[in-house]
Amino acid sequence: MDLNRNFPAANWKEGETVYRWNSAAEERDVVLLTGDKPGSEPETQALCQLIHRIQPAWVVSFHDPLACIEDPRHSELGEWLAQAFELPLVTSVGYETPGSFGSWCADLNLHCITAEFPPISSDEAQRKISLCDGKLAALAS
């Protein structure tokens, strides 16, 4: 079950969905399930409740391993993240993501930037994320 296909987005689809686990491999798509119904999983419900409670102006969602910054709005923050992480800025990851967090955010008109790291160690990911702490904190206030 893919939690990032379980959000109650307008484009949620029952059954199987594709997850792209690698940006370079010949066989890179994995088929996963979306859940019994939109928002059926407790983790999904908790994040939806948090978003509704705090009502952020924007969110950055960290993923891997597609090696890009996905920002449909090409915002200043998206451009900054692309430069800081030395990754290309794209408007789409290049395949459908029904029921994803980003799709659900779009339904709410909540600006969602997805930072897709390349395949790296957790230590390297933490180092990269720590580069953003000051910038994200400044933007959030």
Residue 116 known to be catalytic: yes
Q: How far apart are CA 79 and CA 89, in angstroms?
A: 7
Nearest to 97 by CA among 116, 80, 77, 76: 116
Among residues 76, 96, 116, 124, the one annotated as catalytic is 116
DSSP per residue over 56-92, as a string? -SEEEEEE-SS-EEE-TT--HHHHHHHHHHT--EES-
- For 125, the token pair is 């990911």
Q: How far apart are CA 125 and CA 98, in angstroms?
A: 26
Active site residues: 116
